[in-house]
Structure 1
């Protein structure tokens, strides 16, 4: 799905990452199908969506939640922050912009896209959508603390980006690096656009984490009394601790620090289990020729651990016998397979058992 957004994803991201604004054109249907006006209608008027998944802005100001929410109850327990469709549509009629936040948590097409983008970049990502009535502008000129991909799925919007203008319409993707000043105004019809925010992990954060591991070895004992009158007491006590931290930092192998970062990222993503209930029902019939596919956005990274094998699955680690490495390497390199494809490295009963396990774990799904 990522190539629908960017064409050649790797080339596009490499070229644009350090550049200023970049515009890319693709087939409109590749983007409009991710979140359409009817989808937003259903979320706002026919679901129990709550704040903070929704916020509203008008003329550069965020409106109070009390103006578009209500209370309710479920199984006798109170619910707060429920979006009131009548109030919300009234604000929309009056020129307000409705923002759907964190769509990667509850809208499957964008959840798939964000998960794939995270694996492509190695940075956490998020998806928001902005619904703006004709001629209205939700926010004044501002800049974001993260990189942004933006694309239109309904109507058109005129963007002012770093002093230049860009008309965003379905099929156009814009990339705005961190800190790029921008504002946008809907044109003649209702406008719906999606932003993909890239919350960059930095070299500083990686180094700080490595240094923090060394600092954690320093004793937590109190500073000596009397150091205000005699700072040399601190000097004498501090010197060996600083030397120990410096030695510990120097002793850290960059490769080991990098491996810990990879493991941390690939075990801390949100679970990717959409459709797993249906798959579980179908597992009993899984056989040699059952067509399986890799679940979008789920990694399959293998790490040796003595006589075991760790499989990094995005939100957790699966530990299996090391003898399964050839079979899992085969799974990792394929987008689709049947259990019979693993017969070169496993006997058929073992291949079926492994595939069933990988379906349960969410790495594979039944096509």
Structure 2
């Protein structure tokens, strides 16, 4: 269901295939995910109810990503530390002493562990629990966020808001990044107004709009989200949310979009290499600035910036959108030591690499190093890096020019360099 006034369609997400919807988007929005790139991205909200997604064969809830029991586990046995959790009331953070405790770990004194009694008291008194950056600590959300970032080409983060009945965590405000709201438990009343600042940057927070950013305007969306509902909000849309007569748990997935201004900044960083006029120092104080000459040099450089150069800059940004998947040190070592012809391996998600010819050798170029191999194993490397799952036996059978024994050596090296990971139990 689309809830927004009619506006011109947004430009497609750069690089997105027309009509294509990725799995993480479909997990949240069902069939409506197909319309995000062309009708909603950076332009207008999208609301999809759990019943709509369920009728299309999708899962109705989001408990697989995070459940209420998971929240208690994170604040209890797992002892999530600050700043990964905090508490706020009426938009103001509570002092840490109200919800944290001290403990000793080894010879270290820790003072930022959750105090379950303090958390419970503050929650009962109307404070909202905020679990921050759970894409870094909770595996289901880490996987979902990485999938979403890979599909959108923009970095993602996840916060969780646990609000008691009849409470409001934050007053009307806008975010400086797009968000996807996934209602996990309970109900929450959302009121959403059009932007006061279109597509604000980080330097344009809503607090700069004053105490009343809404300014008496009528809301565009005024509705209650229930478990399994999903809402997309472009950055800048003013919003506030209040619980009804029951608690609410929702995920806020922040989409940290790369803008054309970011790409321009990347390009400008190398501008001096192209034109000596841009490398010249500014004149000393008291001497006239030749602004016209600067404009001419900048225009010359910009006109010479070809499409391929721009696309390379965009690709580098997109490659950084998905963090490299963590390596399981024990499983990695065990697999490398016991690697057999049939052992299944897979590429490490989020790791950027490419192959470069170097005479009689081929180099695997990683972000921080180059790994050299004999040139004749290049087909085997290409196959191992491209296949969703591979093995030494498959490399030998695929006509890559290596036998099983050589394939084991190549794959073991890729395991030791953390380029491939075990695709099954070690």
Into which bin does the TM-score normalised by the smaller protein fall? 0.7 to 0.9
Q: Establish whether residue 66 from structure 1 lines up as the match of residue 97 from structure 2.
A: yes
Q: What TM-score, normalized to structure 1?
A: 0.84
Partner of 1:351: 407
User: Offset of 1:340 from its aligned partner?
Assistant: 2.1
Partner residue, 1:203: 260
Q: Distance in 2 between matches of 1:203 and 1:174?
A: 25
Counterpart mapping for 1:289-300 below 5 A: 289-295=342-348, 297-299=349-351
Mark the CA change 1:309 to 1:246 in structure 2 (over 3 Å): closer, same or farther: farther
Q: Structure 2 stretches of 5 or more lacking a match?
A: 1-22, 194-218
Q: Determine the structure 2 residue equivalent to 1:46.
A: 77
User: Which stretch has the larger CA shift, 258-267 or 133-142?
Assistant: 258-267
Among residues 15, 33, 44, which one is paired with 1:20 in the alignment?
44
**Unaligned runs of at least 5 residues, structure 1:** none
Cα distance between partner residues in 2 of 1:137 and 1:57: 9
Equivalent residue for 2:154?
123
- SS at the partner of 1:35? coil
The residue correspondences of 1:325-344 to structure 2 (distance < 5 A) are: 325-343=378-396, 344=398
- Report the Cα distance in structure 1 between the residues aligned to 2:35 and 2:413, rounded to whole angstroms: 36
Structure 2 distance, partners of 1:336, 1:30, is 30
User: 2-side partners of 1:294 and 1:278: how far apart?
Assistant: 15
The answer to whether the 8 Å contact 1:133/1:190 transfers is yes
8 Å contact from structure 1 (residues 32, 170) kept in 2: no
Paired residue for 1:223?
Answer: 283
Q: Deviations over 1:97-142 (max 9, x none)?
A: 1111111111111111111211212211111111112232211222
| Equivalent residues of 2:87, 2:127 under 8 A apart | yes
Q: 2:171 is matched with which residue: 140, 157, 173?
A: 140
Give the TM-score, by structure 2 length.
Answer: 0.73
Describe how 1:161-176 pairs up with structure 2 within 5 A: 161-162=192-193, 163=219, 164-176=221-233
Which piece of structure 1 moves more, 127-136 or 256-265? 256-265
The root-mean-square deviation of aligned C-alpha atoms, in Å, is 3.1
| Contact 2:155–2:321 (8 Å) recurs in 1 | no
Further displaced range: 168-177 or 267-276: 267-276
The partner residue of 1:85 within 105, 110, 116 is 116
| Aligned equivalent of 1:4, options 22, 27, 30 | 27
Matched, 1:272 2:334: no
Q: 1:57 is paired with a residue of what secondary structure?
A: strand
CA contact (8 A) 1:268 1:316 kept: no
Partners of 1:56 and 1:97 within 8 A in 2: yes
| Range with bigger deviation, 197-206 or 211-220 | 211-220
1:37 aligns with 2:68: yes
Stretch deviating more after TM superposition (351-360 or 114-123): 351-360
| Further displaced range: 164-173 or 105-114 | 164-173
- Of the structure 1 ranges 147-156 and 334-343, higher mean CA displacement relative to structure 2 is found in 334-343
CA distance change for structure 1 residues 157 and 331 in 2, over 3 Å: closer, same or farther?
A: farther
8 Å CA contact 2:325–2:351 kept in 1: the answer is: no
Q: Which moved more, 1:61-70 or 1:195-204?
A: 61-70
| Partner deviation per Cα, 1:9-60 (whole Å, 9 max, x = no partner) | 9725424314411123354466211111111111112233222211211123
CA contact (8 A) 2:323 2:351 kept: no
Matches within 5 A, 1:97-108: 97-108=128-139
Aligned: 1:96 with 2:152: no
**120-129 vs 4-13, which moves further:** 4-13
Distance 1:319 1:54 in 2: 40
Q: 2-side partners of 1:211 and 1:61: how far apart?
A: 40
C-alpha distance in structure 2 between counterparts of 1:305 and 1:266, whole Å? 22
Distance 1:330 1:165, change over 3 A: farther
Q: Distance in 2 between matches of 1:12 and 1:362?
A: 35
CA distance in 2, matches of 1:294, 1:9: 31
Matches within 5 A, 1:305-344: 306-307=358-359, 308-310=362-364, 319-321=371-373, 323-343=376-396, 344=398
User: Secondary structure in 2 aligned to 1:279?
Assistant: helix
